[in-house]
Amino acid sequence: MNMQLVIFIGYFLLVFIIGWLSMRLTKSEKDYWIAGSKLGWGVGGATMAATHTSAGTFIGTIGVIYAVGWSFGWVLLVIPLAYWFMVAVLAPRFTKITELTLPAFLQRRYESKLARGIGAVIILIATVVYIQAQIVAGGLVANIVFGISPTTGMVVFTLILLAYTMVGGMLAVAYTDFLQMIIMIIGTLISVPLTLSHFNGLSDLLMKVELIKPLTFDWSGFPTVLLITLSLAFFLGSVATPEKVVRLYAMKDMKAIRKAMLLTIVVVTGINLLVFILGLAAMVLFPNLATGDLAMPIIAKAVLPSFIGTIMLAAVTSAMMSTVDSLLLVAGSALSEDIYQNLVNKNASQSRRLFVARVGIFMVGTLPLISVLIGFAEGELIQFIVVLFTAIMGAGFFTPVVGGVLWKRATKQGAITSMIGGVLITGLWKAFGDPLIYPVVPGFAVSVLSYIVVSYFTKPPNESAWKPYFEKENKPLS
């Protein structure tokens, strides 16, 4: 048995053990969905950072930089701003009433079961889109590491994720995220200096990149309009995606949230800056790759020493797993809590709801695999599948979530038309609109406009709907 196989088997066994122990600690739905609201800043920040850092970072970002140059880096500079906004503006009011899901917040704030159901459907649609990118990346890594076909790798990757997420819930996700974040940091910190050792320092790398691709460090790698609109997609998606905001509920208080978000900003920004260097190195070392998405796996396999390369690929796998498990959990809660209990069987027992959740996690995990296997989004760079997800989530949720805790006059009709209009226009623009303007721009514009106009022309909400989020004291309610 080769060393790579031993490392990966050991890693997956450790993940399963964490999942099993988490199942033993899970005593209620609150434990399963939001870790009992007991996470401290260390695990809370780790799970937030690990959820953000996905295949979109280690494979997608490197792939885009390989293909078009450094200009894509400007897009990712909005991410620290997004997390600052989340902790400074959203969290203090959003967490005043603890819910199990984001759609449950929509129901309470807008006093509407329909708003909750629509939110759950949007989550399911967007989750299927996003998980596709991670499954494709899992197949690429498996092909590079083990020499198996990408299809086999995608199937195995999906089954492993489904197993520990279905069993352990948020506790399993949070503690495996902590492990995965450590692996990602170690792998990146070791890999970048070793990759630079193939050059005479960073300045030599930059000089060679400029000789090979003179436009790498120029804005023209991406059209300016596209850069700006992509930046908006990342900002909106980072603030309002359900798998992130539900982590605000999972942490024990605002003090923990503030420290956790600072940790998230440091880790995410640091990793992004370091993987930029790996993308530039791949341009010089492997100038003729069929797709930029192969750059990271090839560096790990061909440039780094075998042991370190395997650790780096484990870091890539960790990034993918830490994001997909979070999305699977959110999708499971959407099916169990927001659709099944809310709209189908309001008297369902806790054990019944958890059974439905696990079935839902399995379904949502297998649908993207089937979609990939039949060729949907074939040939599209992983990062652009990821950004499509953030566009859908941003256009659907940013306005009703942020507006709900900042504007008392917002109504349920405004929230519903905002969600539907934002997602619908995003999808239509993706299919038929100008490709230089990313779909989140028209989607977000329609979302905000419909939210304001419809709210003004409908009956004001009851005071009980908005009052808890505007009270000065911050006493979380269950």
Q: Residue 223 belongs to what domain range?
A: 3-379
Q: Is residue 392 part of a domain?
A: no
Q: List the structure tokens of 286.
A: 């492997």
Residue 327: φ, ψ to 5°: -70, -40
Label residue 37 left, alpha or beta by phi (over 0 means left) and psi (-120 to 50 means alpha). Answer: left
Question: Which region holds residue 169: left if phi is over 0, alpha if psi is between -120 and 50, else beta?
Answer: left
3-state SS, one letter per residue, for the chain: CCHHHHHHHHHHHHHHHHHHHHHHHCCCHHHHHHHHHCECHHHHHHHHHHHHCCHHHHHHHHHHHHHHCHHHHHHHCHHHHHHHHHHHHHHHHHCCECCCCHHHHHHHHHCCHHHHHHHHHHHHHHHHHHHHHHHHHHHHHHHHHHCCCHHHHHHHHHHHHHHHHHHHHHHHHHHHHHHHHHHHHHHHHHHHHHHHCCCCCHHHHHHHHHHHCCCCCCHHHCCHHHHHHHHHHHHHHHHHCHHHHHHHHHECCHHHHHHHHHHHHHHHHHHHHHHHHHHHHHHHHCCCCCCHHHHHHHHHHHHCCHHHHHHHHHHHHHHHHHHHHHHHHHHHHHHHHHHHHHHHCCCCCHHHHHHHHHHHHHHHHHHHHHHHHCCCCCCCCHHHHHHHHHHHHHHHHHHHHHHHHHCCCCCHHHHHHHHHHHHHHHHHHHHHCCCCCCCHHHHHHHHHHHHHHHHHCCCCCCHHHHHHHHCCCCCCEC
Give me the pLDDT at residue 227, please. Answer: 78
In a domain, residue 416? The reply is no
Q: What is the CATH number of the domain that holds 146?
A: 1.20.1730.10
Name residue, tokens 């129901």: 107
Tokens 């590079």, located at residue: 144
Domain assignment of residue 153, yes or no? yes
Asked whether the beta carbons of 471 and 420 are under 8 A apart, the reply is no
Tell me what pLDDT residue 236 has. Answer: 85
The count of structural domains within the chain is 1
In a domain, 389, yes or no: no
Is residue 420 a part of any domain in this protein?
no
Distance, CA of 296 to CA of 56 (rounded, Å): 11
Q: Output the pLDDT for position 476.
A: 47
**Is residue 450 in a domain?**
no
pTM above 0.85, yes or no: no
CA distance 191 to 196: 9
Is 225 contained in some domain? yes
CA distance 120 to 20: 28
Ordered per-residue pLDDT tens for the chain, 478 residues: 567 777 777 877 777 787 777 767 777 778 777 878 888 999 899 888 887 776 567 776 777 777 777 777 777 778 899 999 999 999 999 999 988 889 999 999 999 999 999 999 888 888 777 777 777 777 777 777 677 787 888 888 778 777 766 665 677 777 877 887 888 888 888 888 988 988 998 899 888 988 887 777 776 667 777 778 778 878 887 887 888 888 899 898 999 999 999 999 999 888 888 888 888 888 888 888 777 667 777 787 777 787 777 777 777 776 666 667 777 778 888 888 888 887 788 787 877 877 887 787 888 778 877 877 776 554 444 555 666 777 788 889 999 999 999 999 999 999 999 999 999 998 898 888 887 777 888 999 999 999 999 999 999 999 999 999 998 754 444 4
CB 107 within 8 A of CB 115: yes
Asked if residue 195 lies in contact with residue 303, where contact means CB atoms within 8 angstroms, the answer is yes
Q: Is residue 418 part of a domain?
A: no
Q: Residue 338, Cβ neighbours under 10 Å: how many? A: 26
